[in-house]
Amino acid sequence: MSNLQSQVNWQHWLHRWDAQQSGYLPLREERFQVMLNALALTMPESFTALDLACGPGAISQRLLQRFPHARCIGVDYDPVLLAIGQGALGTIGDRLRWVEADLTQEDWVKLLGDTQVDAVLSTTALHWLPSDRLVKLYQQLGQLVRPGGVFLNGDHLYFPPHLETFNRLAKRVQVQQEQQAFIENNQEDWKRWWQAIADEPDFKALLEERQRRFAPRATENEPTLAIHVAALQEAGFREVETIWQRWDDRILVAIR
């Protein structure tokens, strides 16, 4: 971290990230708590979890606070979000390790330093992976999660295309939520958040690196729930089921 960057108020940016994400997901905190409740039911007192596509570490922060004997590995490829997470949370008493890795590349698992974990958690992230890459990622999770361990994914896991009404209503609910947050309540949205980062000279180098790393991606054909379930079963997860749902926003649990 350069001297300039060490002057950044990381806590401020972390809070601002959480607020922005909650505009899209008013039940974001509830979803985290339900995921952690599932860990409380399935994990021993001491366990290792992977926070997949962690951003600035929302899952890691909450998990390590709730489970004082756990440790966590946060993996992401965004240098800005990783810097905010590292700056605001640090290592939480040596229990949190940050790994910079591109989940679209086959070798990301090698960069982890651990060959097996008890649990993998992910939120609001994997929907951007194209189906073929998602299938490969789940194959890797099938190797990484120990037998009896769990994978929890809190994300938009879409209805199949033939359920037209469900798809339409889920979309309408999302539009209403965003309208309330970003128009009626004037909360900061994704675009304004990134603009605010761009307006901070201290983020210039990190932002340039981010732009080098992430090409604009297509958002069509994001995987449906059925694709997630089939790919997890194929990867060796014995039982896969939704444990919490608000339209297409779900927590999918897979038991290895």
Ligand X SMILES: C[S@@+](CC[C@H](N)C(=O)[O-])C[C@H]1O[C@@H](n2cnc3c(N)ncnc32)[C@H](O)[C@@H]1O
Query: Under the rule (CB under 6 A), what is the footprint of ligand X?
Result: 21, 53-55, 58, 76-78, 81, 102-104, 123-125, 128
Residue number, 213 or 238, with CB nearest to ligand X: 213
CA torsion, points 78, 79, 81, 84, in degrees to nearest 10? 170
Contact status, residue 14 vs residue 85, Cβ threshold 8 Å: yes
Residue number, 46 or 245, with CB nearest to ligand X: 245
Residue number, 80 or 161, with CB nearest to ligand X: 80
Least Å distance, CB 58 to ligand X, is: 4
3-state class (DSSP) for residue 103: coil
**Closest to 58 in 3D by CA, of 37, 23, 31:** 31
What residue number has its CB nearest to ligand X?
Answer: 55
Least Å distance, CB 238 to ligand X, is: 25
CA torsion, points 222, 225, 228, 234, in degrees to nearest 10? -140
Least Å distance, CB 102 to ligand X, is: 5
Distance, CA of 42 to CA of 88 (rounded, Å)? 29
- E strand or H helix at 244, and its extent? strand 239-246
230 phi/psi in degrees, rounded to 5: -60, -40
Least Å distance, CB 127 to ligand X, is: 9
129 phi/psi in degrees, rounded to 5: -80, 130
Q: What is the maximum span of the chain, computed from C-alpha positions, in angstroms? A: 55
Least Å distance, CB 190 to ligand X, is: 8
Least Å distance, CB 100 to ligand X, is: 9
Residue number, 100 or 202, with CB nearest to ligand X: 100
Distance, CA of 59 to CA of 145 (rounded, Å)? 17
Residue number, 46 or 105, with CB nearest to ligand X: 105
* Burial degree of 199 (CB within 10 A; 0-12, 13-18, 19+): exposed
Distance, CA of 251 to CA of 59 (rounded, Å)? 14
Q: Residue 33's CB: how many other CB atoms inside 10 A?
A: 14
Residue number, 46 or 211, with CB nearest to ligand X: 211
Residue number, 168 or 192, with CB nearest to ligand X: 192
Least Å distance, CB 164 to ligand X, is: 27
